[in-house]
Amino acid sequence: MEQKPKLAFGEINFKNLEQFKVITQKTLPVSYSETFYLKILTYSDFSTLGYYNDIAVGAITARIEEKDGKKTAYIMTFGVLDAYRRLGFGTQLLNELISRVKTHEEIRTIYLHMWVSNEIGFQFYSRHGFEKTVYKRNYYTDIDPPHCYILTKRLYPDVDPPIPYTEEDTEKELEIAQQ
Catalytic residue among 32, 37, 43, 113: 113
CA–CA dist 100, 169 (Å, integer): 33
Please report, as a single letter, which amino acid is at residue 30. Answer: V
To the query of whether residue 147 is one of the catalytic residues in this protein, the response is: no
To the query of whether residue 32 is one of the catalytic residues in this protein, the response is: no
Catalytic residue among 52, 74, 84, 149: 74
DSSP the chain: -PPPPPPEEE---GGGHHHHHHHHHHH-SS---HHHHHHHGGGGGGEEEEEETTEEEEEEEEEEEEETTEEEEEEEEEEE-GGGTTSSHHHHHHHHHHHHHTTSTTEEEEEEEEETT-HHHHHHHHHTTEEEEEEEET--SSSSS--EEEEEEES-TTTSPPPPPEEEEHHHHHHHHH-
Active-site residues: which are they?
74, 113
